[in-house]
A and B are shown apart, each in its own frame.
Chain A
């Protein structure tokens, strides 16, 4: 094993990048742009008022409720506003189809008899159903509507039931932490993995098909030196990428409004509860695994296009199962087992522990994640080096 040969390979990767502005852009600028865009979308999406169509099938008693709700929601103090009334479900559905409202609340014809009999009346809520997430948000806002309803439904003379307000506290982060704070650790893991895998895969494929690998093997360089040189070279770029992204995620610089440009901020300003250095180490271990996975998989590709074809095979499943979109613990059992064979799962878990919960090296979870990621990296280094001489030209 010769340090100078490993360095020579790492250096040649760096020299190759220097002239390739587009790839440099992919490595360093794209993750920032995508992260910034996601932050913008998640934080500044308009919190639309839920527009309610009231359907009264219960005659005069119902109308009393409709009027009370209409009055109570003028100006949408709780993000809900009654915008129209009808007397049939079909008419209300037609209004929703025409986009004249987001939600319809049906006061049933059985309301008076229910109240007299002392049973709880059932109000039907109709949504469009095409945007489950928006529907769920609208449902959440009906809390204030419920309070008004309860007051109106109280039998004459009875005390108005007291409906408590709910205040929130959290163990980690703060109640006003948004999606961006929670997703930041995931961005860090995912970009470190995806771009490094893609670039190494293509780079090494070029060595194989361009004849330079053959030429390298005609020198005293060993397979281990090639793989380590690649890990060092791409690891260096992954390091810079992760540092850029970490700084961008954790800091925020406010830019005041200039002329027609409104004020905005650069960086996401997420508060990392734990050590950014530990988060960086986790992301770096993941990247080294990705370098060697790229080398290994380049054996099974004949063209650059075929390396791209590994993205849906290798990257997308990890995104789906690794905790990027859905919590790993909630996956079906069979998928949970698969998720625990994927490096991204451990990286995301570790990054969340560190950045969200402030875990340090004394945490069992972080220790396990670091060990597993290091083990996966070593495994891929060995796997990658075994593929290097195994081909017949």
Chain B
């Protein structure tokens, strides 16, 4: 932040330099460089097992990198101080089923050092769970639990948001509201990285990052990626960048596909 104020090179919200993570023989993240600007929404797209979740865990400091480094707002991860600026919504519904909706929220707010009630009511409104504040989380439907999990992530006004498949199980109307809110947060300067394996939300992002086998295989706006691939379909563009044709067969007949 001091760098930004002094007018030199601005601090990136999220930065990865030569990030690698190896599990035995598997290269889950295989040399990723990233620099994400504040106030933008990034879509991290790739099939299951492409390394999206591992990349997020490395960026948030939850996993130790085999090589390279990750920085959040200029702080090298892992850093507990920087975690206070981060909101991380994992793929699993990380909420306590035996606690009520309100108790879950106030628990996470306290851990983040934000104990004010207005923040809790605000996020409850956002995910439309105000009426269920006293209900035990285990009585909620799957979609409601997803919404509660998102609310717990947003309750401390994080500057950087990592959302792993945030809209799975959320109905279309509410999904639109989520995106409207994400857009509002971005306008206020929050950087958002949304991991997904579905392409239909991709066009809501400012920029897309295609990953496959732990590597970034394409980056740009949806329009750019489509134009470069000569197609009007993002999925085809992804496959083409992966070296596959529209049916998932190798473009080059000699290339073996596992």
A contact residues vs B (CB 8 Å cutoff): 2, 4-5, 7-9, 11-12, 15-16, 19-20, 210-212, 214-222, 392-393
Contact = CB atoms under 8 A, between A and B. Distances in A.
B111 A5 contact: yes
A159 B222 CA distance: 119
A220 B92 contact: no
A214 B94 contact: yes
20 contacts: A4-B110, A4-B115, A8-B107, A9-B111, A15-B100, A16-B99, A20-B98, A211-B92, A214-B92, A215-B108, A217-B62, A218-B83, A218-B88, A219-B84, A220-B84, A220-B111, A220-B113, A221-B80, A393-B57, A393-B63
Contact of B103 (A15, A216, A392): A15
Interface string B75-106: 00000110110101011111110111001000
B50 interface: no
A27 to B, nearest CB: 15
A218 B81 CA distance: 11
B225 to A, nearest CB: 30
Given A19-B136, A219-B111, A219-B112, A12 B90 contact: no
B73 to A, nearest CB: 14
Nearest to A214: B90
Nearest to B56: A218
B96 A212 contact: yes
A211 B90 contact: yes
Given A12-B103, A16-B96, A211-B94, A4 B113 contact: yes
Contacts of A4: 110, 113, 115
A219 B81 CA distance: 9
Interface centre among B84, B94, B111, B113 (most CB of A within 10 A): B111
B158 to A, nearest CB: 10
Interface of A, secondary structure class, is: helix
A9 B96 CA distance: 12
Interface string B138-172: 00000000000000100000000000000000000
B256 to A, nearest CB: 29
B83 A220 contact: yes
B80 A220 contact: yes
B133 to A, nearest CB: 14
B94 A210 contact: yes
A7 to B, nearest CB: 8
A17 B96 CA distance: 12
Given A211-B90, A214-B62, A214-B90, A219 B103 contact: no
Nearest to A221: B111
A8 B90 contact: no
B113 to A, nearest CB: 7
A393 B21 CA distance: 12
A16 to B, nearest CB: 4
Nearest to A212: B94
A16 B97 CA distance: 8
Contacts of B80: 220-222
A12 B94 contact: no
B63 A210 contact: no
Contact of A12 (B60, B63, B99, B112): B99
A11 B91 CA distance: 26
B112 A210 contact: no
Nearest to B28: A392
B99 A211 contact: no
Given A12-B99, A222-B80, A211 B107 contact: no
Contacts of B57: 393
B157 to A, nearest CB: 13
Contacts of B83: 218-220
Given A9-B111, A12-B103, 12 more contacts: A2-B113, A5-B110, A7-B110, A8-B111, A15-B98, A210-B94, A211-B93, A211-B94, A212-B95, A215-B88, A220-B113, A392-B23
